[in-house]
Amino acid sequence: MKIGIFTDAYNPVTSGVVTSINMVEQEMKKRGHEVYIFTTSKSVQPNEHQTLYMLNSIPLLIAKQYKNRIATFYSREVAKQIKEIGIDVVHTQSEFSVGAFGKIISRKYNIPFIHTYHTMWEDYVHYISPIKGRNIRLKRLARTFSRGFVRKAECVITPSNKTAKYLKYKCNVKNKPIYVIPTGIDIAPFKRENFSDIDRENLKASLGIGKDDKVILFLGRVADEKSIDVVMDQMPAVFEDYQNYKFLIVGDGPSKKALEEQAKKLNIQDNVIFTGKIPWNEVPKYYNIGDVFVNASVTETQGLTFIEAMAAEVPIVAKYAPNLSEFIHTNENGILVKKNTDFKDAIIKVINDNELRNKLITGGNNTAKEYSIEVFGDRLEMLYSEIIELHKNKTNLESKEEKNEQKKTVYKRIKDKLARNKK
């Protein structure tokens, strides 16, 4: 297959969306398929084996701290190259400029169009307007926009049931198949056996963390929607009883300065460590010095960092959210807390109760395997094949009734295959 990925965000931008795209590209190429990335200019082409096409773009002024860009909605030159390539499927990963270009290409060259809906945009309208009254209107607009974008797609992929329900019930996406396919990750780099005790001790020492200190770890984008401040508020009570605990915040983002000020106000700055941005190849090592992974965000559509933590054998304590409850089960493979004040007791229990700790590690490890890149690849490859075949067969059918019946048959088959694969 020749797979065209259309995205506004790509390397070197760090985000869950980019991670997902990297996983698609990596796994599909490993299976012998051709993958073509269409994205904004200023993206990084890491090696000669990658086929990357960049549309002219400018920096996006909204939430500019993320260094996002917006491209021209059409490029005659790139469109001509796409025709020459003869891609089999258009897979859009964003709803904006390059995503819109993908939709145009789909119509122009009669190529089946699949969309992955990664982001519930109404959770991010505060970047446009901090005024709540206006936010209500912006949220409605975000829902209308989301519905309009997926209207012509053959099907929609979401990373969680939470996102699927949001599209179906809040955005009113009807009569459109929505398939939940969680993004898989390559769990191998995160495994504990990749690092020696000396490796871990050296990294802790470089951060000013003692050999026997316990590490409460957050890793990810340091932004408002991650609710790191919620966890920070609970740290004074933790440090009061356990002075050898450290809160390690790995990553960078617009909230870093505010969180540093918060730590000072709470008088816990000596126990809170900010690493800033770290190279991707160093990320697994940081997971492996964690004693517990914490996250209070309730806006995640999937949350790949949870799977990474599980693969690294780091028990999880997180704020309850519907999407997290799909794969994190309290006292089995992690702990979900309902109240912010519950973080303290949960963190301390996970670190000190060896029986519970070992149970969570084992359960988490099993869960991580279910979200492996291989399982992800199986599901996506099947979906691509079915949709491409459906599109070919529809072309040969004359009546609308025949086409609709064909679609129903294929959509049901995909649903059944995904259900069997999940088991």
- Each residue's pLDDT, cut to its tens digit, for the chain (423 residues) gives 999 999 998 988 878 888 889 999 999 999 999 999 999 988 776 566 668 999 988 887 665 555 678 888 899 999 999 999 999 999 999 999 999 999 999 999 999 999 999 988 787 665 555 555 557 778 888 899 899 999 889 999 998 888 899 999 999 998 899 999 998 889 999 999 999 999 999 999 999 999 999 999 999 989 998 999 999 999 999 999 999 999 999 999 999 999 999 999 999 999 999 999 999 899 999 999 999 999 999 877 678 899 999 999 999 999 999 889 989 999 999 999 999 999 999 999 999 999 999 999 999 999 999 899 999 999 999 999 999 999 998 877 778 888 889 999 999 999 999 988 765
Instruction: Determine the length of the chain.
Output: 423
Q: Using CA atoms, how far apart are residues 115 and 124, in angstroms rounded to an integer?
A: 20
Architecture label for domain 2-185: 3-Layer(aba) Sandwich (3.40)
Q: What is the pLDDT of residue 178?
A: 96
Among 55, 136, 61, 142, which residue's Cα sits nearest to residue 100?
55
> Hunting for tokens 């590209």 — which residue is that?
25
Beta bridge pairs of residue 149:
none
Q: Which residues of 42-55 are buried (b: 16+ CB within 10 A; e: fewer)?
A: ebeeeeeeebbbbb
Torsion over CA: 301, 180, 337, 236 (sign) = negative
Q: What is the pLDDT of residue 69?
A: 83
Q: What is the pLDDT of residue 81?
A: 95
Task: Tell me whether residue 385 is exposed, middle or buried, using C-beta atoms within 10 angstroms of its C-beta: 0 to 12, 13 to 18, 19 or more.
Answer: middle
Given a contact cutoff of 8 angstroms between Cβ atoms, the answer to whether 296 and 318 are in contact is yes
Q: What is the pLDDT of residue 123?
A: 73
Q: Which amino acid is at 137?
A: R
Q: What is the pLDDT of residue 396?
A: 77
Q: Using CA atoms, how far apart are residues 243 and 304, in angstroms rounded to an integer?
A: 30
Q: What is the CATH number of domain 188-370?
A: 3.40.50.2000
Q: What is the pLDDT of residue 365?
A: 95
Helix 342-352 crosses helix 228-241 at what angle (to 10 degrees)?
60
Q: Using CA atoms, how far apart are residues 115 and 4, in angstroms rounded to an integer?
A: 11
Q: What is the pLDDT of residue 24?
A: 95
Neighbouring C-beta atoms of residue 316, cutoff 10 Å: 27
Give the end-to-end CA distance of the chain in Å, rounded to a whole number: 27
Q: What is the pLDDT of residue 373?
A: 92
Instruction: State residue 188 phi and psi, 5-degree precision.
Output: -55, -45
Among 314, 46, 305, which residue's Cα sits nearest to residue 185?
305
∠ CA 104-106-108 to the nearest 5 degrees? 65
Q: What is the pLDDT of residue 142?
A: 86
Q: Which amino acid is at 402?
A: E
